[in-house]
C-alpha cells in the first residue's frame, strides 16, 4: 500500500483534498433545506438545520433555534464543521512543507476524530428530538433528506480520514525512502 498507493512525491495532496471534500459536504449540509421532509395529502413540511417551513396556503417558516434541542443540534454540528475546516487548513500547511511533519499529522487525525464526534452528536440529536417535539400528523410520511445525508457523509469522511492521518506516521521511513529494499531470492 505504502510503496505504490501513497508515494510521497506524487500523492501527497490526496489527504488534504479529501479533507477539503469533507468540508464542502459540510457546507452543503449546513446550507441545505433537505434535512427532513414530511408529506401528508394537503400539507407539506420541510426542515433544515435552522428552521422548519409549512406549506398550507403559502410557505410559513419558523426557527428551530427557539428549541433547546435545535440549538444543541446546530451547535454541535457547526462545531464539528469548524473543526473540519481547521483540519483542512492544518493539512494544507503540513503537506506544503518540504519535510513532511509526521508528528503534526497525527494531531490532525485526532482533531478529525473530535470533529466526527461533534458532528455525530448533532446528527443524532436532530431527528430524535425533531420527531419528539414536532411530530407529524397521523398517516404522514416523514423522511430524512439529502442535506442530512451530506452531513453523514462529512462525519464518515472525518472518521476515515482520522484513521489515515493517525496511521500515516507509522510508515514515515517507507514514505520518505529511508528503508533499504529487501529482495527475495529466487526460489528454485
What is the predicted pLDDT for the residue at 177?
A: 60
Model confidence band, residue 136 (pLDDT cutoffs 50, 70, 90): confident
| pLDDT of 75 over the 90 cut | yes
The three grid cell numbers given for residue 58, joined into one nine-digit string: 403559502
**60: which strand partners?**
54
Kind and range of the H or E run holding 16: helix 14-31
Q: What is the pTM of this model?
A: 0.83
Using pLDDT thresholds of 50, 70 and 90, give the confidence band for residue 55: confident
pLDDT digits (tens, 9 = 90+) for 77-110: 999 999 999 999 999 988 777 666 666 888 999 9
pLDDT at 43: 73
Do residues 10 and 156 lie in contact, with contact meaning Cβ atoms separated by under 8 Å?
A: no
Tell me the pLDDT of the chain averaged across its residues: 84
For residue 1, what pLDDT is reported?
42
Write down all domains in the chain, each with its CATH number in brackets: 10-171 (1.20.140.150)
Alpha-carbon gap, residue 51 to 20, rounded angstroms = 27
Amino acid at each position: 500500500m505504502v510503496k505504490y498507493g501513497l508515494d510521497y512525491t506524487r500523492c501527497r495532496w490526496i489527504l488534504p483534498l479529501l479533507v477539503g471534500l469533507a468540508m464542502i459536504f459540510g457546507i452543503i449540509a449546513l446550507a441545505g433545506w433537505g434535512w427532513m421532509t414530511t408529506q401528508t395529502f394537503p400539507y407539506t413540511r420541510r426542515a433544515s438545520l435552522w428552521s422548519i417551513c409549512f406549506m398550507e396556503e403559502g410557505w410559513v417558516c419558523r426557527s428551530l433555534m427557539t428549541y433547546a434541542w435545535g440549538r444543541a443540534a446546530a451547535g454541535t454540528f457547526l462545531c464539528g464543521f469548524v473543526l473540519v475546516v481547521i483540519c483542512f487548513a492544518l493539512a494544507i500547511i503540513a503537506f506544503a512543507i518540504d519535510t513532511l511533519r509526521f508528528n503534526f499529522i497525527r494531531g490532525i487525525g485526532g482533531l478529525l476524530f473530535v470533529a466526527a464526534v461533534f458532528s455525530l452528536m448533532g446528527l443524532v440529536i436532530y431527528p430524535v428530538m425533531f420527531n419528539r417535539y414536532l411530530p407529524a400528523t397521523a398517516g404522514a410520511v416523514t423522511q430524512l433528506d439529502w442535506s442530512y445525508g451530506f452531513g453523514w457523509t462529512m462525519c464518515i469522511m472525518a472518521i476515515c480520514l482520522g484513521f489515515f492521518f493517525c496511521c500515516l506516521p507509522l510508515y514515515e521511513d517507507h514514505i520518505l525512502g529511508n528503508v533499504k529494499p529487501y529482495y527475495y531470492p529466487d526460489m528454485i
